[in-house]
A = this chain, B = another copy of it.
């Protein structure tokens, strides 16, 4: 088993990360939503996160994507990425760490629960809604 190091991304990782983004989209059955073509051979997983500043819910970190290449799974790399994001989030003073998962991805849901996450859709009934281009333009009367 190759040794795996969890670190923050560098500019030179872009090609690799784009390749993984495409792999993740295939896994999520959302490939039609990805329009990138670059390739790269070295990075085996990634977590893409950002910070959210909200007046009353405090500063949050949101993990947009997390992905590990199939041949590198089962080594706890996903857990290590989540732990790394939790460290960064605490360092930045975040009070929450959120992420979204597809309900057919039971393995991921079970992992997040095992790591202490709460399923807000199940527990409180939260649904995610999205307006896209055409709907946005209609709303704005453009």
Partner-B contacts on A (CB < 8 A): 17-18, 21, 30, 33-34, 36, 48, 50, 52-57, 62, 64, 82-83, 86-87, 89-90, 94-104, 109, 112, 115-122, 124-142
Contacts and interface: CB of A to CB of B under 8 A. Distances in A.
Contacts of A121: 121, 126-128
A56 B118 CA distance: 27
B102 A126 contact: yes
Contacts of A50: 52-54
Contacts of A48: 54-55
A53 to B, nearest CB: 7
Given A56-B21, A136-B86, A129 B116 contact: no
B135 A115 contact: yes
Contact of A132 (B30, B95, B101, B104): B95
